[in-house]
Amino acid sequence: MTPIRSDVLSRALDAPTEPPLRPLPPEVAELLRSLEAPPRLAAHLRAVHDVAVELADWMKDRYPDLAVDRDAVLFGAATHDVGKTLHPEELSGPGSAHEEAGRDLLLEHGFTTDLAKFAATHASWDSPDVTIEELLVSTADKVWKDKRIPDLEDRLVQALTAATAREPWEEYLALDDLLTQIGTHASHRLAFQAAFPVNQ
């Protein structure tokens, strides 16, 4: 890794931001450094992870009796696009080759199947056996830039309704309020990501 790229990657991983973006889990930051990840990818993962923390905290407060694997959600958000280290063209263009590649990469680095799966499933939220954890990672990957996907949000509302026996409209309104609030800082997250190069 060149010193310049190392410095830029370190800033994407560690630089203070306003409003603050939480750092990635240490094991993920270490992995991205070892892979010489593109700085823009690190910035993107940090932004999505930050939103996932907000979603996970909301889940814990609103559904204290619901067994949701918070650590898995945060890891999944922090690594969902890690396959783009192998397919950097998908950082600035469409493509899904990074999904299975990311899962395989995480498995090769010793992470469990339960954690590695998010890299492969973050775009497959319409799967019939999708979990709440996977829906939360998929939601974080959209709402970080204030992109709202009604079908995805409906799936999450259905899952929450089934798990809590509350009314769907009640769950929809609560989720909508949260996602609207998260969206208010989208421009800051987008600016943070854009400040880092795809390659360097």
Q: What is the pLDDT of residues 113-129, one digit of tens each?
A: 999 999 999 888 888 88
Q: With bands split at pLDDT 50, 70 and 90, how would you rate the model's confidence at 6?
A: confident
- 3-class SS string, 5-37: HHHHHHHHHHCCCCCCCCCCCHHHHHHHHHCCC
Contact indicator for 115, 75 with CB cutoff of 8 Å: yes
* Cα–Cα distance list, 54 to 79, 90, 91, 102 (Å): 17, 26, 24, 24
Are 53 and 70 spatial neighbours (Cβ–Cβ below 8 Å)?
A: no
What tokens appear for 147 in the block? 């992109």
Q: What is the pLDDT of residue 138?
A: 97
Range 9-36 average pLDDT:
92
pLDDT value at 15 more than 80: yes
Q: Write down the pTM of the prediction.
A: 0.94
What CA–CA distance (Å, rounded) separates 135 from 123?
A: 10
- Token representation of residue 86: 């192998």
- Percent over 90 (pLDDT), the chain: 77
Residue partners of 10: CB distance under 8 A and separation at least 6: 33
**Domains defined for the chain, CATH in brackets:** 3-194 (1.10.3210)
pLDDT at site 200: 58
- 66-110 pLDDT, tens per residue? 889 999 999 999 999 999 999 988 888 888 889 999 999 999 999
pLDDT in tens, 133-179: 999 999 999 999 999 999 999 999 999 998 888 899 999 999 999 99
**Residue with structure tokens 């979603």?**
55
